[in-house]
């Protein structure tokens, strides 16, 4: 009987190690853990970035594991109530007019409105002029944008509004700069172009940039446009991200964030993948996209369905948690070593008989 338990234990250990090794290298379940958005949402709330907090948490509510989370629903409602309050919206509108920047759409629109009607450009030029007179540092990018804005305003008036897109784009750029979302490459480019524009009174050199900004604003909204603009490192990158918004719409920047920009780097491969599958991959973070690219959409869906089934194994999935822990902490070398030792122990061993002389 003791021998039976000994052999059974060896077979069980060998089977377990073999299964873990296979599952680890075929499906890699241990690397697929869905993102918990609550900590990051709480962090955004502490920074009083309610608009960003709402958009981030709201994105995850489309997935079953968060849709069933009561705490997430309560937190989302709290953010929505705060943003809808009269005092909050009044403060944001006033902030937009006063400073020319805001993290809420109402404040951003008020900031752009003041710029569109010359008030903002004159205000910013006067402010920087004061800094210059006092010998203080002058914001060259802001001066450049205000100068370009004045030319765009005059051009808009003379063309009866046909260049209003340019004026709107300049206001978006000023908003990006004041909210520290202006990329370095674009700031340098605007400073160079403003000198030429002041002489020629022609803003056509900036039309490609204006076009992509307006396209993005129309597709994904003003705040998301500012976020994506801040992540560009060249005009080519701006063009690529603008094209990406055609597929991912308002969720473009969240998908890029969750995928660590894998969604942008491998956009041609992911172009043939269903959007719901891409979104599901994003709920697992960067590792989700790694699995999606490695095995394809069908394989990824099958893997996540398996995980969903396995989480029901044992009391509240405790056995599955143990399996995941083993896959995560036992290296391939250790598993192969266990398999090798168990195989040797299972081999029949018979001592050699001494020959009679």
Shared domain for 44 and 20, answered yes or no, is no
Is there a domain that residue 139 lies in?
Answer: yes
Long-range CB contacts for residues 283-287, cutoff 8 Å, separation at least 24: 283/34, 283/35, 283/60, 283/63, 283/65, 283/258, 284/32, 284/33, 284/34, 284/35, 285/33, 285/35, 285/258, 285/259, 285/260, 286/258, 286/259, 286/260, 286/262, 287/31, 287/32, 287/33
pLDDT given at position 350: 55
Count of domains forming the chain: 3
Is there a domain that residue 342 lies in?
Answer: yes
Shared domain for 120 and 55, answered yes or no, is no
pLDDT given at position 62: 94
Is there a domain that residue 140 lies in?
Answer: yes
Q: What predicted TM-score, i.e. pTM, was given to this entire model?
A: 0.73
Shared domain for 214 and 319, answered yes or no, is no
Shared domain for 144 and 224, answered yes or no, is yes
Is there a domain that residue 12 lies in?
Answer: yes
Residue 343 belongs to domain spanning: 1-33+284-348
Shared domain for 116 and 179, answered yes or no, is yes
Shared domain for 60 and 1, answered yes or no, is no
The parts of the chain modelled with pLDDT lower than 50 are: 157-162, 315, 357
Shared domain for 44 and 111, answered yes or no, is no
Shared domain for 104 and 204, answered yes or no, is yes
Shared domain for 75 and 154, answered yes or no, is no
Is there a domain that residue 50 lies in?
Answer: yes
Answer whether 32's CB lies under 8 Å from 327's CB. no
pLDDT given at position 94: 86
pLDDT given at position 159: 46
pLDDT given at position 105: 80
Shared domain for 311 and 212, answered yes or no, is no
Shared domain for 118 and 152, answered yes or no, is yes
In 3D, which of 277, 253, 279 has the Cα closest to residue 264?
Answer: 253
């Amino acid at each position: 009987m003791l021998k039976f338990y000994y052999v059974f234990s060896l077979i069980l250990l060998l089977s377990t190690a073999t299964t873990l090794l296979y599952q680890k290298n075929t499906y890699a379940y241990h690397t697929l853990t869905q993102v918990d958005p609550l900590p990051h949402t709480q962090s955004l709330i502490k920074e009083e970035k309610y608009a960003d907090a709402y958009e981030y948490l709201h994105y995850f509510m489309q997935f079953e594991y968060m849709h069933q989370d009561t705490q997430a629903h309560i937190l989302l409602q709290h953010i929505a109530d705060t943003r809808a309050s009269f005092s909050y919206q009044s403060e944001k509108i006033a902030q937009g007019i006063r400073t020319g920047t805001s993290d809420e759409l109402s404040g951003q629109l008020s900031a752009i409105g003041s710029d569109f009607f010359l008030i903002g450009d004159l205000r910013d030029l006067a402010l920087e002029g004061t800094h210059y007179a006092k010998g203080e540092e002058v914001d060259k990018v802001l001066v450049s944008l205000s100068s370009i804005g004045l030319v765009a305003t005059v051009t808009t008036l003379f063309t009866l509004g046909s260049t209003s897109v340019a004026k709107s784009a300049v206001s978006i750029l000023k908003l990006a700069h004041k909210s520290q979302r202006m990329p370095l490459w674009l700031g340098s480019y605007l400073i160079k172009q403003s000198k030429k524009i002041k002489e020629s009174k022609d803003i056509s050199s900036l039309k490609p940039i204006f076009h992509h900004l307006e396209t993005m604003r129309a597709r994904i909204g003003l705040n998301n446009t500012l976020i994506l603009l801040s992540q560009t490192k060249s005009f080519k990158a701006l063009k690529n991200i603008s094209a990406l918004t055609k597929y991912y719409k308002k969720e473009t920047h969240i998908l890029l964030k969750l995928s660590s920009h894998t969604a942008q780097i491998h956009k041609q491969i992911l172009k043939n993948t269903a959007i719901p599958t891409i979104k599901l991959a994003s709920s697992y973070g960067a590792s989700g996209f790694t699995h999606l690219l490695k095995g394809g959409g069908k394989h990824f869906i099958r893997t996540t369905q398996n995980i969903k089934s396995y989480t029901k194994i044992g009391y509240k999935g405790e056995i599955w948690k143990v399996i995941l822990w083993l896959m995560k902490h036992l290296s391939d070398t250790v598993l192969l070593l266990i398999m090798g030792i168990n195989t040797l122990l299972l081999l029949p061993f018979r001592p050699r008989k001494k020959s009679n002389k």
